[in-house]
A = this chain, B = another copy of it.
Amino acid sequence: MAFFMKIALAQTNTTVGDFNGNVERIVKFARCARERGADLVVFPELALCGYPPRDLVEKPSFIARSEAELDRLAQLLPDIRALVGYVRRSGAEQGKQASDAAALLYRGKRVLDYSKILLAFYDVFDESRYFEPGNSAGLYAIEGWQLGVTICEDAWNDKNFWKKQLYTRDPVEEAVRAGAKLLLNIASSPFTSGKIRLRHDMLKAIAIERQVPVVYVNQVGGNDQLVFDGSSMAFNARGELCARAKSFEEDLVIFDAADGLGPKGEVEVRPGPASDVEAIYQALLLGLRDYVSKCGFAKVIVGLSGGIDSSLVVTLAADALGPENVLGVSMPGPYSSSASFRDAETLARNLGIDFRAIPIRSIFEDYLVTLDPAFEDRPRDATEENIQARIRGNILMALSNKFRSLVLSTGNKSELAVGYCTLYGDMAGGLAVIADVPKTMVYDLARYANRASERIPAACLEKAPSAELRPNQTDQDTLPPYDVLDVILRAYIEENLCAEEIIEKFRLDSELVEQTVRRVNSAEYKRQQAAPALKVTAKAFGTGRRYPIANKFSE
């Protein structure tokens, strides 16, 4: 039996809780899909309220609003079938009060209402905290052809693709067994390095294994620490990629599901990022831009030390928000080198951002005088370094308060991991842009930022990293070389290896590894007061890594 159906993949950028804005956006994309001749338009998971809504879902008023907005949306849509993710009142007597649902809207009505069966509860995902799982397949027939609807995690338990299953059920398999001839999966799957490729491979494998087309629509945009890359895709029943939306931008592409055997005409396949580094750079741009704008800010402030971290962050900010919205502040202290100051100044000029110098020496000396009686002739130590960092934090926050600009903090993942950073000092800020980027990747990103021209001065990439908080200081006075450190950190944090396994696997010095692991554990108290960090690795600090502070576990 022949089957013709044009499906629009509507990859929207939603804002959590912004029902009005999200509805407007869904209607706009649905009209566009209709104009392009689509029979069905598909939106991401929880497109109506934004993902992740977190504890908003515990508010009865939020659930009521969600149901009402879905009804309102149904009346506003043009004459097209639309699959929309939303928070549904579960209605169950027992259990959670909501489910993570997909409604198929057509001519003012919900013609299908499906609740997600597999709820993710690991890493950054807390779905079981909020949602009652669904139980039955989401099937809907158009001209005798069954569509099988699933939501995000539902598709991530294929027993041929994964070595280990997290769940006993496979909703994709169930849908196909129940007769689905085409699979629709709506998702809010956050970016991490390598995940665009992983999703592609997994969805392709499902199409081939089940011999049905697979249409996957993923959210795009940043919501707090999560960045959704979009990269929506459709495969035909042979596993050939027949549609692909942009990564890191809103987009609408059409998949022509003729016979499920691939498109009759041209395919709309937009290229993805050319490299891992490019993908991470774009993820950071999007996460930064969306955090600033969704929090209601226009302008940002970055403290510029002349080092590589703040240079990268301010370059990202200029690219994301436009140089006119970025202020770079150099705050030279008693141990700052004039070379670093000049590098910061050059960088600001290269980017075309505002630049201001506010020396901290006088305030620092005042602190030392004021604290002198209390310090009781104790020798200098990290205390005096932290005072300088906190003076800078205070100055940046004062500018933020006075001019309503958001401070971006500039620490990288490697230093945050081992606590080589000052709480309330360089950690101060509304968003920690590169706090999930290991130092070695910071260099890669800085080179990428310079791909067209040298914006970040070469000296920033070449000189030995230093906090410049005491004379002749470099990071490697107290830390192992960053390439070694990053190997240990990745194994410990992302792969959960213990010290012994790391020593063996990488043939590293045992004291070095053990000391690093101890430093990671004892810096937990700092991280729990850190600004939100844009997640780009498999395991970021923040909501995805939940450790006790008072913890005596040693490996």
Contact = CB atoms under 8 A, between A and B. Distances in A.
B62 A553 contact: yes
A526 B425 CA distance: 15
A378 to B, nearest CB: 6
Given A128-B128, A358-B374, A548 B52 contact: yes
A398 B387 CA distance: 7
A428 B223 CA distance: 26
Contacts of A58: 496
A60 B295 CA distance: 39
A72 interface: no
Given A363-B366, A424-B394, A59 B550 contact: no
A360 interface: yes
A367 B167 CA distance: 58
Interface stretch (A11-19, A188-196, A271-279): A11-19
A16 B167 contact: no
A213 interface: no
A161 interface: no
Contact of A16 (B60, B369, B548): B548
Interface in A88-109: 93-96
Interface in A109-145: 121-122, 126, 128-129
A548 B398 contact: no
Contact of A424 (B60, B386, B397): B397
Interface stretch (A30-38, A78-86, A539-547): A539-547
A401 interface: yes
Contacts of A53: 548, 553
Contact of A428 (B59, B128, B424): B424
A462 interface: no
* Copies of this chain per assembly: 2
Contact of A370 (B93, B122, B360, B500): B360
Contact of A383 (B65, B398, B531, B546): B398
Contacts of A93: 164-165
Contacts of A506: none
Contacts of A19: 553
B548 A224 contact: yes
A555 B222 CA distance: 23
Contacts of A223: 548, 550
A371 B397 contact: no
A487 interface: no
Interface string A1-45: 000000000000001111101000000000000000000000000
Interface string A240-255: 0000000000000000
A21 B550 CA distance: 14
Interface string A209-250: 000000000000011100000000000000000000000000
B391 A394 contact: yes
Interface residues of A, number: 94
A243 to B, nearest CB: 30
A394 B395 contact: no
**Interface-central residue, A60, A61, A394, by most chain B CB under 10 Å:** A394
A55 interface: yes
Interface string A370-398: 11001100100111001100110111011
A327 to B, nearest CB: 9
A362 interface: yes
B401 A381 contact: yes
B375 A402 contact: yes
A385 to B, nearest CB: 9
Nearest to A378: B402
A75 to B, nearest CB: 22
Given A59-B498, A164-B93, A525-B430, A381 B402 contact: yes
B59 A166 contact: no
Interface in A484-508: 496, 498, 500-501
**Interface-central residue, A94, A165, A167, A362, by most chain B CB under 10 Å:** A94
A197 interface: no
A515 interface: no
Given A383-B398, A528-B532, 16 more contacts: A16-B550, A53-B548, A55-B545, A56-B551, A56-B553, A58-B496, A60-B498, A62-B553, A95-B166, A224-B549, A356-B374, A363-B366, A374-B402, A381-B401, A383-B402, A529-B529
